[in-house]
Structure 1
């Protein structure tokens, strides 16, 4: 049976009523789509007055545009089914309208009914009685006041608006854009692997892994609104290490989705996870390539299984057939010595790091990032932080205008290259 939308059926009925009225000789105009049987939709407006338009009798060209429809300023519109302009009665006739206008609120060029809403970044504004707007007061991930304060404060980096974060609250940013649990005490107390510098060895002031190992250090993947940095950073570092230590014979981009979906022991997928658990899974079970098992932005119930060299299940992607399993040797913990981390990176490839992310990090656009105090004078809900894991690919130094030297690590963001203060 053929069905039509309710709105179309309503218009057909109205048109039919109008046609019937014309046949009876009543001479009524069709009700314009922007109007309704109870009269005007908004709380007012100087339509007839601004145009000084009041026509006698019926004058069908005595009209003005009105909310996408047409309203009239002639005496013929003084009837029950109203297509009058909002100020017809008081301006043209000098009397109150025969029915009260529907109250509403104005925002920009639009008029909203009572309880109508619009979004102001991450906050919903609702129209109340007497034309008053009531808006939520959630701190937003993109905060123009904070952007201005950072850029005016000479903190060594530039802030800006990332469109992907527009409309998200700060709480959502902390919950959905990070995603690494703090390590347990057993992991924190692991013995450190110390890299010994030779007597008189001087490390370069700048280094980038992609320059030493071209085509073997991969571009980072975007984790989107999945709190899975534990999986993304682990897969990214493992991808580079496999490529470097196989001398380029294997250059896989390993699958974060494989970890998100299959590493479920004490892990929470896109709601956060542990780095030690991710490395354990890579060592004991292994993962396939991102081409075989691409990122979908959530956990999937897809058990790949482990064969001797291939997964026991087919690739979830229909465009890939090579379901090779990649495994790694046991992970190890580096010391906190700046020089030892640099030497490890320069000799063996990119390393993984934990960082404390504060509310201003989401606004980073360029320069050497360090946490700023711009939110200290604001309410507590504007000051949030969480734990993030990243891949570090190099380091460098920058000379500030006052002559100070600022050291930094590179590639501290999963979406692209950045720099983080390592002083």
Structure 2
């Protein structure tokens, strides 16, 4: 059996097989880190450099099209019954929309899926700078046979009659927008975050935010009384991890789960519990616990309310991230609640189940006091962070924020010269951990330091700086904080 046959045999065997090892962890190994099991192949968003590496192999061959999905029809979301017998490969292929999350030509998808099911607009002219040939097409100097399909960022292109016919989605990563931002004097630089490459703009807003606009009840919450005197001096630079080493938790990655409401709440609560318990409890808290178990936010990966998340922390509490690790990856996934609790007479919650992660013994439940609203004043927010710890902020995200790489972010409006399809906004929640300033006291150079939930590879190691004192993107409109649950005697519960 050849090396290629070995790979094919292993992959096809792995696709429909579940192998359980040790503590019930589902493992299915293949020859690349992107294969999880069967059709559950994570979306990999190729950069330009990565695409060049494999153009000479898989991308050069023409894909057999045939009539599979054309006869079967296309199904929404993942549907394992939406299949056709693929005679040429002597196997089953699929025609559901789950195939849109897999590389073009993936063995699980019917060969005509991308042409039939992905909304190809066959009336569009061929893409620029791709000369047409009588029996095929070229792109970037590579020849493709007729009916070949390639993927360019978030769009699919099919070679038909010597011309490329492409879908016309607006991509989350727009190279021309990156160039426009970097050519301007906006105070920050844009870049291609590889996890966003290949996503549409709509999917980026749908999957990577997830905080619902604040409810009227939340917006009507009374602010705490101001505590900063007019002549009080505050430091030019402050970051919570400098004052409280080992207490402040770094950014996690929500992946394609619209749950910033859970990540920001759990992270702020974890920091404050560590600070207010004077380091007695320093565990990071589980956003998965909130996503799966907060019945008031039953939308889970489809968005949630931060007020409901804080209510859950007060009444039910959360276990640690190591006890209930994050397992979500896709917006349409659902993971049932694997933790339950019961309250004693004092309102303290106690677990009634072991940790879903059997490698962790401690299922201690952490709780917070009712949340309070910090005044929407630059100096009041600074004093709150400096004295009590990081705070939660709700902000408006625009299309250019996804491209942030470094610097002091300010919405550029660089997409305003494009159509309305290129411009979107949505609600997001983050954790503010400090502030700073560059170039003296010029207002253009003052910034907040905030932790996002898009992983360490995004932005400045998972953090971003944003203009301070001018309510940029509404980040100073709604600031929420809470206290860890501490007994009058000072013993942390």
User: Structure 1-normalised TM-score?
Assistant: 0.73
Q: Find the counterpart in structure 1 of residue 213 from structure 2.
A: 182
Aligned partners of 2:387, 2:169: CA distance in 1, in Å?
47
SS at match of 1:367: strand
Q: Secondary structure at the match of 2:438?
A: strand
Checking the alignment, whether the CA contact within 8 Å between 2:250 and 2:451 is kept in structure 1 is no
Task: Tell me what 1:20 maps to.
Answer: none
* 1:216-231 mapped onto 2 (5 Å cutoff): 216-231=247-262
User: What is the alpha-carbon distance in structure 2 between the residues aligned to residue 128 and residue 349 of structure 1?
Assistant: 60
Deviates more, 1:173-182 or 1:308-317: 308-317
Cα deviation for residue 406 of structure 1 reads 1.9
Instruction: Please say if residues 178 and 387 of structure 1, whose CA atoms lie closer than 8 Å, have aligned partners that are also in contact.
Output: yes
The residue aligned with 2:339 is 304
Between 1:302-311 and 1:277-286, the stretch displaced more is: 302-311
2:290 to 245, 259, 268: 259
Indicate the residue corresponding to 1:407 in structure 2: 446
3-state DSSP class of the match of 2:271?
helix
* Other-structure match for 1:417: 463
Q: Distance in 1 between matches of 2:182 and 2:448?
A: 21
- After TM superposition, the structure 1 = structure 2 runs for residues 180-329 of structure 1, keeping only pairs within 5 Å, are 180-198=211-229, 200-297=231-328, 298-307=333-342, 310-329=350-369
Give how far 1:404 is off. 5.9
SS of match in other structure, 1:393: strand
Q: Which one of 112, 135, 139 corresponds to residue 103 of structure 1? A: 135
- Equivalent position to 2:389, from 344, 349, 361: 349
Q: Please state how far the C-alpha of 1:110 moved relative to its aligned partner.
A: 4.5
1:34-45 mapped onto 2 (5 Å cutoff)? none
- Which range is displaced more, 101-110 or 389-398? 101-110
Query: In 2, distance between residues paired with 1:404 and 1:258?
Result: 40
Report deviation, 1:150: 0.5
The Cα shift of 1:382 comes to 0.5
Matched, 1:150 2:181: yes
* 1:205, distance to aligned residue in structure 2 (A): 1.6
CA distance in 2, matches of 1:412, 1:293: 21
Return the match for 2:160 from 128, 138, 153: 128
TM-score by length of 2: 0.63
Q: CA deviation at 1:123?
A: 0.6
Secondary structure of 2:421's match? helix
Q: Tell me by how many angstroms 1:303 deviates.
A: 3.6
1:102: how far off? 9.2
CA RMSD of aligned residues (A): 2.4
| Change in CA separation of 1:404 and 1:277 when aligned onto 2, cut-off 3 Å | closer
Does the Cα contact within 8 Å between 1:279 and 1:331 map onto a contact in 2?
Answer: yes
Could you say which residue in structure 2 is the equivalent of 1:162? 193
Alpha-carbon distance in structure 2 between the residues aligned to 1:112 and 1:312: 60
Structure 1 stretches of at least 4 aligned residues deviating more than 6 Å after TM superposition: none
**In structure 2, distance between residues paired with 1:221 and 1:347:** 24
Q: Does 1:374 align with 2:414?
A: yes
Contact kept, 8 Å, 1:102 with 1:113, in 2: the verdict is no
**C-alpha deviations, 1:274-296, integer Å up to 9, x for none?**
00000000100111000000001
2:297 and 2:309 in contact (8 A); partners too = no
Q: Which runs of 5+ in 1 are unaligned?
A: 9-40, 43-100
Q: Quote how far apart the aligned CAs of 1:322 are.
A: 0.8
Partner of residue 173, structure 1: 204
Change (3 A) 1:333 1:299: farther
Name structure 2 gaps, 5 residues minimum. 10-61, 64-132, 344-348, 456-461, 471-493
Give the 3-state SS of the residue equivalent to 2:445 in structure 1.
strand
